[in-house]
């Protein structure tokens, strides 16, 4: 017989990554009684590029974590280096006036550390109860409303099922979200045109790192990109990502996979061979999937809300997901709190969260999708990077677009490319 002993909360948050931990921390601060569950125990690793976008800094600042972030082992990032398929390279500094970056500098921090910071902050927040090694298998539904979760404590040898009840269930359990599958059914399946497969590994001894994150549009892996992100102590996060649909075609045609493609770049590409000649891998190459926000899914329903990767909010151009995960958590907490206050956690009431998310991220995600589509054309990348390498005005435009939405939107305009041709 399943153990049906039920505990009751205002909100159950399933998944304690950056999205779930932020949601729980904000809700706890608002005085809501929260249960934060994760099947892993912290600190735990998460396959990622480890770059912390300027957008993540808003939540880090609001949760009072800037000083702790500074103390974590990190790479200080001052800009982005791009290379085009014809191997032209250009370095673009961040603008020192960017309000999202502390003194114009960004961070690369292993997710092992970043996620533990977010989780610990949530755990310390009044009104938040955390439970690690608890795997949620089902959302408990009553009359079409989500009213709790059912799962197992992975430490319990008997694996007895437990139920916890709440007014609202938050799915922040990542790309393979059990909550999203329970509430959305087939609509939670990833579309290969709007999701990406990526691998990464840690290395020491990579030569020529310049304190910038590096994004390389290497010819052999187009339309994907290869990255080198500097971490602490001369180490680097090195990876490769490709749209899932493109990868499937490449695998079939060239009988290859992401790991062989990445090793091939490191060992054979003239631009990287020498840089990796004395490098040492510090662990295995691991892979994971990124659900892009270019395809919108329903984010709220009767008694439930999705945030972060469970809500499919990753930027389709840069692959950044931590910023949208933490900020969707911030927004979700506000609207869940208000819905509970109104004593109405119906879809109509919680849909205000969904509207607010698209208001805040919608335009940026659609610009990024257009840029991702443009980035499929080698000639265009050659043109943009080539011009940027020689023209300060072009570098300034790209630099502005790294922090400013209006500047980024210019890359949607065909006239920008005419200007580039004539510049």
Ligand X SMILES: Cc1cc2nc3c(=O)[nH]c(=O)nc-3n(C[C@H](O)[C@H](O)[C@H](O)COP(=O)(O)OP(=O)(O)OC[C@H]3O[C@@H](n4cnc5c(N)ncnc54)[C@H](O)[C@@H]3O)c2cc1C
Q: CB 225: neighbour CB atoms within 10 A?
A: 23
Among positions 288-307, residues that touch ligand X (CB under 6 A) are 288, 290
C-alpha distances (whole Å) from 136 to each of 148, 161, 172, 178, 403 are 10, 10, 11, 7, 38
Instruction: List helix spans (H) across 125-257.
Output: 178-184, 244-254
Q: Which of 85, 308, 316, 375 binds ligand X (CB under 6 A)?
A: 308
**Residue 206 contacts ligand X per CB under 6 A:** no
The conformation of residue 95, written as its DSSP 8-state character, comes to P
**Residue 74 contacts ligand X per CB under 6 A:** no
Q: Which of 11, 18, 57, 146 binds ligand X (CB under 6 A)?
A: 18
**Taking the complex as a whole, how short is the minimal distance between the CB of residue 229 and ligand X, in angstroms?**
7
**Taking the complex as a whole, how short is the minimal distance between the CB of residue 59 and ligand X, in angstroms?**
12
**Taking the complex as a whole, how short is the minimal distance between the CB of residue 344 and ligand X, in angstroms?**
26
Count of residues of this chain found to bind ligand X when the rule CB under 6 A is applied: 38
Three-state secondary-structure class, residue 331: helix
Token look-up 């939670």 returns 188
Helices 18-29/111-124 angle, 10° precision: 20
Cα separation, 230 vs 345, in Å, equals 44
* Closest-CA residue to 322 (of 38, 53, 43, 118): 53
Instruction: List helix spans (H) across 269-321.
Output: 270-273
Among positions 209-248, residues that touch ligand X (CB under 6 A) are 239
Q: Which of 12, 15, 54, 395 binds ligand X (CB under 6 A)?
A: 15
**Residue 38 contacts ligand X per CB under 6 A:** yes
**Taking the complex as a whole, how short is the minimal distance between the CB of residue 406 and ligand X, in angstroms?**
22
Cα separation, 40 vs 17, in Å, equals 10
| Choice between 242 and 383, CB closer to ligand X | 242
Q: Which of 13, 152, 178, 265 binds ligand X (CB under 6 A)?
A: 178
Q: Which of 11, 14, 190, 236 binds ligand X (CB under 6 A)?
A: 14
Cβ pair 17, 172 in contact under 8 A: yes
Token look-up 């396959």 returns 47
**Residue 16 contacts ligand X per CB under 6 A:** yes
**Residue 319 contacts ligand X per CB under 6 A:** yes
Distance spanning both ends of the chain, measured CA to CA: 74
Q: Which of 13, 20, 27, 132 binds ligand X (CB under 6 A)?
A: 20
| Choice between 320 and 349, CB closer to ligand X | 320
Cβ pair 261, 220 in contact under 8 A: yes
| Choice between 188 and 322, CB closer to ligand X | 322
| Binding positions for ligand X, rule: CB under 6 A | 14-20, 37-40, 46-51, 53, 135-136, 172-174, 178, 198, 200, 239, 288, 290, 308-309, 314, 319-323, 325
């Amino acid at each position: 017989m399943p153990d049906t002993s039920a505990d009751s909360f205002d909100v159950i948050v399933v998944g304690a990554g950056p999205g779930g931990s932020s949601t729980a921390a904000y809700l706890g601060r608002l005085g809501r009684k929260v249960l934060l569950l994760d099947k892993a125990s912290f600190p735990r690793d998460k396959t990622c590029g480890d770059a912390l976008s300027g957008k993540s800094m808003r939540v880090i600042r609001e949760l009072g974590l800037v000083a702790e972030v500074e103390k974590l082992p990190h790479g200080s990032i001052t800009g982005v280096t791009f290379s085009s398929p014809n191997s032209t390279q250009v370095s673009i500094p961040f603008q020192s006036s960017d309000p999202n970056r502390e003194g114009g500098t960004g961070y690369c921090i292993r997710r092992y550390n970043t996620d533990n910071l977010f989780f610990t902050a949530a755990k310390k927040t009044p009104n938040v109860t955390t439970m690690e090694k608890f795997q949620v298998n089902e959302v408990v539904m009553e009359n079409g409303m989500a009213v709790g979760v059912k799962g197992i404590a992975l430490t319990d040898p008997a694996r007895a099922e437990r139920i916890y009840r709440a007014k609202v269930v938050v799915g922040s359990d990542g790309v393979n979200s059990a909550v999203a599958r329970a509430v959305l059914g087939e609509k939670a399946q990833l579309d290969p045109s709007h999701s990406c497969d990526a691998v990464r590994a840690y290395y020491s001894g990579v030569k020529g790192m310049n304190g910038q994150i590096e994004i390389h549009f290497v010819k052999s892996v187009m339309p994907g990109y290869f990255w080198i992100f500097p971490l602490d102590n001369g180490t680097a996060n090195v990876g490769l990502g490709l749209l899932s649909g493109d990868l499937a075609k490449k695998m079939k045609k060239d009988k290859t996979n992401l790991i062989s493609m990445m090793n091939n770049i490191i060992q054979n590409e003239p631009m990287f061979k020498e840089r990796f000649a004395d490098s040492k891998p510090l662990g295995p190459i691991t892979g994971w999937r990124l659900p892009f926000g270019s395809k919108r899914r329903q984010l709220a329903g009767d008694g439930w809300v999705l945030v972060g990767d469970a809500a499919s909010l990753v930027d389709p151009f840069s692959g950044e997901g931590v910023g949208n995960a933490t900020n969707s958590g911030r927004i979700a907490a506000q609207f869940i709190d208000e819905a509970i206050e109104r004593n109405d956690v119906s879809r109509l009431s919680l849909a205000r969260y969904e509207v607010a998310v698209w208001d805040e991220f919608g335009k940026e995600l659609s610009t990024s999708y257009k840029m991702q589509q443009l980035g499929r054309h080698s000639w265009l990348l050659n043109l943009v990077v080539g011009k940027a390498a020689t023209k300060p005005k072009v570098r300034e435009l790209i630099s502005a677009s790294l922090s400013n939405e209006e500047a980024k939107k210019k890359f949607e305009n065909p006239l920008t490319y005419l200007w580039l041709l004539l510049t």
